[in-house]
């Protein structure tokens, strides 16, 4: 039904995209220039958050450019320019280690110099603000011992707005495109927020150690070396990863049981794992 609607509105053939794009994102084949359409239900908070983030990054070269926002009675569509490249995660899945090493260096550099260079000035500009201090850690499917451990680690940090920058919220190889000439595009800004840089730095470590533990000790130092703009303790990084996992736990509280169990498992893993050595 979505494909038919897009074809009617834009007189183009919609092709569903994957590899870093969310499920309801389509290449509109036949448009000039080539465009990408992301489709959501009417009034979707995540879409508005993404639009606001992309506006802040307009002209940066590392994110898609918004071309238009179209609203109908049933859906909202954000139109963006099409960006070429290979999904970063596919490089690692295909054992292209040297190319992946190069990507981790570029990710650190891009995060520090482009994304985190946008400092918080008490005007959110339509982007969510970190709510770490307001988290109410009460979900009936999360065991009490994990809730208590989470409270202890989160209470150990003082989150200061003066340290906040624009963060992607789900930064990592799974959400970047990488071209042959080493140009990066960062996709899917639904989780963006004004927050401590460690929410992004920690998530790169978290994602890599969880999904690619055999490569983590080889790749993460390359990322950290090129980021190289702040000092932090491993416990502080872990605290921001716990914060991010809880953000997902709230999102999946109405999801199927298996999804909830998986994120509880990931919370336990996060609390027990040394993410940065």
pLDDT tens digits for 45-102? 899 999 999 999 999 999 999 999 988 777 889 999 999 899 999 999 999 999 999 9
pLDDT for position 126 = 97
- pTM given for the model: 0.94
List, for residues 90-145, the tens digit of each pLDDT value. 999 999 999 999 999 999 999 999 999 999 999 999 999 999 988 889 999 999 99
For the chain, the domains span 2-81, 86-272
Q: Which two tokens stand for residue 270?
A: 């996060």
pLDDT for position 226 = 86
- Average pLDDT on 184-195 reads 96
List beta partners, residue 27: 15, 36
pLDDT for position 19 = 67
- Average pLDDT on 254-263 reads 96
- List C-alpha distances in Å: 54 to 67, 122, 178, 189, 256: 11, 18, 19, 8, 32
Residue with tokens 């993410």: 275
List, for residues 133-176, the tens digit of each pLDDT value. 888 899 999 999 999 999 999 998 889 999 999 999 999 999 99
pLDDT for position 229 = 67
Give dist(CA 233, CA 125) in Å, integer.
31
Question: Candidates 3.90.1200.10, 3.30.365.10, 3.40.50.150, 1.10.10.10; correct CATH number of 86-272?
Answer: 3.90.1200.10
CATH number 3.40.50.720 given to 2-81: no
pLDDT for position 274 = 94
Per DSSP, the residues of 185-219 read EE---TT-EEE-THHHHHHHHHHHHHH-HHHHHHH
């Amino acid at each position: 039904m979505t494909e038919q609607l897009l074809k009617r509105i834009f007189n183009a053939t919609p092709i569903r995209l994957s590899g870093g794009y969310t499920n309801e994102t389509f290449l509109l084949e036949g448009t000039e220039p080539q465009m990408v359409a992301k489709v959501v239900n009417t009034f979707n908070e995540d879409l508005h958050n993404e639009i606001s983030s992309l506006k802040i990054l307009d002209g940066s070269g590392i994110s898609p450019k918004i071309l238009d926002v179209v609203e109908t009675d049933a859906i909202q569509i954000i139109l963006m320019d099409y960006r070429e490249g290979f999904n970063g995660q596919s490089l690692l899945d295909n054992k292209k280690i040297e190319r992946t090493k190069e990507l981790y260096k570029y990710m650190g550099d891009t995060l520090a110099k482009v994304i985190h260079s946008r400092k918080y000035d008490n005007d959110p500009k339509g982007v969510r603000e970190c709510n770490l201090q307001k988290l109410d850690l009460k979900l009936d499917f999360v065991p009490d011992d994990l809730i208590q451990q989470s409270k202890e680690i989160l209470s150990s940090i003082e989150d200061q707005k003066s340290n906040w920058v624009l963060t992607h919220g789900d930064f990592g190889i799974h959400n970047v495109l990488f071209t042959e000439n080493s140009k990066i595009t960062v996709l899917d800004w639904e989780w963006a927020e004004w927050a401590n840089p460690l929410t992004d730095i920690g998530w790169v470590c978290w994602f890599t150690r969880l999904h690619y533990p055999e490569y983590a000790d080889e790749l993460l130092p390359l990322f950290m070396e090129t980021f190289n703009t702040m000092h932090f303790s491993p416990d502080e990084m872990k605290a921001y990863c716990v914060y991010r996992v809880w953000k997902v736990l709230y999102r999946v509280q109405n999801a199927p049981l298996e999804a909830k169990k998986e994120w509880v498992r990931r919370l336990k893993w996060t609390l027990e794992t040394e993410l940065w050595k």
